[in-house]
Structure 1
Amino acid sequence: MNKVMPLQLMDRNYKSAIDILNSRRRLKRPSIAPGSNLPGLSRIPDAKGKPDLKGTPSIVGMRQWLHQIGHSVCVSLSNLDNFTDREKTAEIDSLNIIHVAGTKGKGSTCAFIESFLRAFGKRTGFPQKTGLYTSPHLIFPEERIRIDFQPIARDLFAKYFFEVWDALSRDGNSSRALPRYLQLIALVSFHAFIKEGVEAAIFETHHGGEYDATNVIDHPVTTVITPLGMDHVKQLGPNIENIAWHKAGIFKRGSPALSSPQEASAAEILRNRAFEKGVEVHFVENDPCLPADALQLKPDVQRMNCSVALAAVRRFLHEKAPKDAATLSSLDILQGIGQFSWPGRFQLLVEGPFKWFLDGAHNEMSVSKAAEWFIESSDGQRAPPTRILIFSQVSEQRDAAIVLERLATALNTVHIHHVIFTLYDPQQDFDSPTGEGKPHFCGRIR
């Protein structure tokens, strides 16, 4: 069995950190047969009450690894021998975390939450620093870890990465005993936020909840569920009830639980899971105080995401903000919306005569919304535009043909003049901060 030794001779820079991080990618997600005996694994009832266990729980090992890097979580007070240990157990809680799960709109909701908190902090002094952890990244891995919305600097990413990696590999652990890609970068985010003195952090789950690597957060200030749908069914499925069960795993006793409106069967599961945790889930509606004409709130799904974010921030401030300034002002709300940005989601870029409508939709549900947004945004032009669709789907979890079929159906009311399909080249160089990698065009349909 291979041993992993501390990398004393390797350049401890950003590139080396990314090389190690990429080496920890899981080649294929294994499935677990019903009855598998893994730590922390319970039986997940499907719609018929039968167990349905899918995917290796990525939460396994996270508590031990956090302990190894000096950030213990949820340790019984009876086991604490000194004040230093008590301080360590409070480090994760000191981040004041809002934990967000869901199928659609997680990233946008997290970005709205961060923007409102940052606006409030500028006026009141709390929080002085925000942290935002999201997945996946758009171009560069460090985009997953943001402080005051800015991706963590590459030198800091490397510094905190190697502090984590050295602590985990110090005893010559085998590679199997070390975290995989998502586990590792989540550990780096916890470590970076603590070291940087973040006072409010938003954590997006990867693609689950109950067994997600981020679910070592035992005392979130607030938990949030965004719209649910059929995605990651190989790990979470096979039906919406199973998916809702997994997502609701982030609910914690003593922490307010919020959710976007859900279909009836999913909402029932969320209520039941909340009851099990001793909390009540509140379903959020569109907030009437939001400005009617803000471009950041278009299409309508963004208005809903913003409403949920606003509800989460209000709950958060009620719990954590100084009592003399515990509410968002109308100016905070307008500033939070005005400075909101989430690249790759309903993003419009204008370059001379060209308008780029960019969206990272990757499943049938989201791609339909992206198409609706494109049609609505491009229909109002004076002269009929030339529309070019550039499409790529890179996933072992989803059928690209089904996603493309749904996109074609959604776009059937407008004329698409050209279609370009692109391939993902794993050797493509995106290391340049200017993103000078070239697209690979594999076909064109007129």
Structure 2
Amino acid sequence: MSTRTYRDAVDCLNTLQSNASALAAGKRLSDVAIPEMLAYLERTGYKPEDLNRLNVLHITGTKGKGSTSAFTSSILTKIRPDWKVGLYTSPHLVAVRERIRVNGKPLSEEQFTKYFFELWDRLEHNPRRKEDCMPDKPGYFRFITLLAFHAFLDLKVDATVLEVGVGGAYDSTNIVPKPRVTGITALGIDHVTVLGKTLSDIAWQKSGIFKKGVPALSVDQPEEGMVVLEKRAEELGASRFTVTPLLSGLRDTKLGLAGEHQIQNANLAVHLAQTFLDSHATVELTPIIAAGLAETKWPGRCQTVVEPTSSKLTWYLDGAHTVESLDCCMQWHATPAAGLALSSTRAEHRRVLVFNCTMGRSGPSFLKTMLTRTESQLKLVGSEENADTYFDDVIFCTNVTYADGAFKGDLTAVAIPQSELTELTVQHQLEQAWKELVPSFPSESIHVVPSIEHAVNIVRRISESAPSTGVLVCGSLHLVGGVIEVAGLADVAL
């Protein structure tokens, strides 16, 4: 047999993605999600109790869970440099192996390939299924979750920061019998409008990670959600439920992640880390913890990257893809620290927006949120600019990586109907929404293109004729990852 490569692993993994028609037909019933995940775990040779050896800090929420996970991992690594600290997150930006990290570094291609095919082969050699309706192999996210467990167990990590994928109660990560501590970041309203759920529904789902005898922590939440969290913590037997108070001095502490909203995430991370290390210790912002917060890296979230080949082109990368996160994005971008950095030379400076979203119907509300926040933020910082002219060009593109219609292997997405990609359905919806929201915007400055490579090429042409250009890329982490790949930013952004 020829040597199996990283590309082979990625190609096999991509066969586990659900296509558009399968997603439209509906997901597996939630009440069988955990039993099915446990069945797959058993087929790979593990028992649920084995996962307790990972010493898990389990984190969920509507927004900020990835950033909080990154802060928590950085703090633990700083406090215990002798430890191996695992970090499992989703999605990835450029390479799928980014989802599984040890001490902040993704698995190497060799490690990922090794662990992938060990798991793949175990499933191949043990095809027995408890229910005939179960697929032979788990879906994409389930498989990567099992892969993370397998890798971390083999590497004998001392702690594992485990980010929930979606929800909580029925999420693939929620098969660890007894994590060491659980945490919930901000609960938002996005799922209320998108999925027709109430905030109470969302709180019930998220609190499904609470476990008997395990501390449960949360940021301050809207009252409707907080009532549910408190009740569920009692029902599920959490050893205590704590709303984390803001640590003294945190607002004056330098954070490795930009944006006002990161203060709340960093605060929860400190509480999680210190509870993990000693559930009875007084939580304090010590110098070593402050250093961990300052050194935290989380690419693609309120990130500023100067073009490696030209200092006159600056990329502002934020994978914000919900109403609330896009609001935070513009709160960050429309400030002198980011998009207004060159406002003194506004006549010569060009601002470009590169945008896409995977749910076309949400596009108009997303763009309206961005414009509304931009207007209020400009007034707040005393700028004479206005939202309608904040951007000089807007580019709406698909998440297809290359101009020839191909995806980078790690960025392949089969869940988008081919007709949408061919006809640029979502992109034209975004174009129409922008024209209605900003009627005065020049039509020639609105670009609808079929790939990320097309968008990057337009940006480069614009930057060639301007003394300085700033480009905000947002609306999709997949889009941000594609830009990093196509624009050659990996060495400076990741």
| Same-fold call, TM cutoff 0.5 | yes
| Equivalent position to 1:16, from 8, 22, 29 | 8
Determine whether 1:425 maps to 2:425.
Answer: no
Question: Structure 2 counterpart of 1:67, which letter?
Answer: E
Task: For 1:163-312, list aligned pairs within 5 A.
Answer: 163-172=118-127, 176-232=135-191, 237-279=196-238, 280-290=240-250, 292=252, 294-296=254-256, 298-312=258-272
Whether the aligned pair in 2 keeps the contact of 1:230 and 1:237 (CA below 8 Å) is no
Determine whether 1:404 maps to 2:364.
Answer: no
Under a length normalisation based on structure 2, what TM-score does the superposition of the two structures give?
0.73
Match of 1:136 in 2: 91
Whether the aligned pair in 1 keeps the contact of 2:257 and 2:297 (CA below 8 Å) is no
**In structure 2, do the counterparts of structure 1 residues 110 and 23 end up closer, same or farther at CA, with 3 Å as the change threshold?**
same
Whether the aligned pair in 2 keeps the contact of 1:241 and 1:269 (CA below 8 Å) is yes
- Could you list the per-position Cα deviations for residues 374-403 of structure 1 after superposition, in whole angstroms to 9, with x for gaps in the alignment? 012233546244342333324248622221
CA distance in structure 1 between the partners assigned to 2:288 and 2:165 by the alignment: 29
Whether the aligned pair in 1 keeps the contact of 2:305 and 2:314 (CA below 8 Å) is yes
Question: Structure 2 counterpart of 1:210, which letter?
Answer: A
Deviates more, 1:245-254 or 1:294-303: 294-303
- Shift of residue 167 of structure 1? 0.7
Question: Structure 2 counterpart of 1:23, which letter?
Answer: T
Match of 2:23 in 1: 29
- Shift of residue 298 of structure 1? 3.7
Match of 1:64 in 2: 39
- Could you list the per-position Cα deviations for residues 62-108 of structure 1 after superposition, in whole angstroms to 9, with x for gaps in the alignment? 112212222201xxxxxxxxxxxxxxx3x311111000111100110
Whether the aligned pair in 2 keeps the contact of 1:297 and 1:306 (CA below 8 Å) is no
- Shift of residue 266 of structure 1? 0.7
Whether the aligned pair in 2 keeps the contact of 1:10 and 1:16 (CA below 8 Å) is no
Match of 1:375 in 2: 334
Question: Structure 1 counterpart of 2:408, which letter?
Answer: F
Question: Structure 1 counterpart of 2:302, which letter?
Answer: F
- Could you list the per-position Cα deviations for residues 291-321 of structure 1 after superposition, in whole angstroms to 9, with x for gaps in the alignment? 615153642210110000000001000059x
Determine whether 1:330 maps to 2:286.
Answer: yes
**In structure 2, do the counterparts of structure 1 residues 405 and 95 end up closer, same or farther at CA, with 3 Å as the change threshold?**
same
Whether the aligned pair in 2 keeps the contact of 1:422 and 1:443 (CA below 8 Å) is no
CA distance in structure 2 between the partners assigned to 1:291 and 1:405 by the alignment: 30
CA distance in structure 2 between the partners assigned to 1:444 and 1:14 by the alignment: 32
Under a length normalisation based on structure 1, what TM-score does the superposition of the two structures give?
0.80
Question: Structure 2 counterpart of 1:114, which letter?
Answer: S
SS class of match (1:139): coil
- Could you list the per-position Cα deviations for residues 26-54 of structure 1 after superposition, in whole angstroms to 9, with x for gaps in the alignment? 22436779xx9x6x72xxxxxxxxxxxxx
- Shift of residue 409 of structure 1? 2.1
Whether the aligned pair in 2 keeps the contact of 1:422 and 1:439 (CA below 8 Å) is no
CA distance in structure 2 between the partners assigned to 1:278 and 1:105 by the alignment: 25
Whether the aligned pair in 2 keeps the contact of 1:251 and 1:277 (CA below 8 Å) is yes
Determine whether 1:395 maps to 2:358.
Answer: yes
Give the count of matched residue pairs.
392
| Equivalent position to 2:58, from 78, 81, 99 | 99
- Shift of residue 238 of structure 1? 1.5
SS class of match (2:112): helix
Deviates more, 1:267-276 or 1:288-297: 288-297
**In structure 2, do the counterparts of structure 1 residues 213 and 231 end up closer, same or farther at CA, with 3 Å as the change threshold?**
farther
Structure 1: runs of 5+ lacking an equivalent: 1-8, 42-56, 74-88
Equivalent pairs: percent with the same residue? Answer: 33
Question: Structure 2 counterpart of 1:283, which letter?
Answer: V
Task: For 1:74-85, list aligned pairs within 5 A.
Answer: none
| Equivalent position to 2:73, from 114, 125, 132 | 114
- Could you list the per-position Cα deviations for residues 396-428 of structure 1 after superposition, in whole angstroms to 9, with x for gaps in the alignment? 486222212211222234422221222221654
**In structure 2, do the counterparts of structure 1 residues 350 and 285 end up closer, same or farther at CA, with 3 Å as the change threshold?**
farther
CA distance in structure 2 between the partners assigned to 1:66 and 1:227 by the alignment: 30
Structure with higher helix content: 2
Q: Structure 1: which 4+ aligned runs deviate by more than 6 Å?
A: 326-329, 442-446
SS class of match (2:101): strand
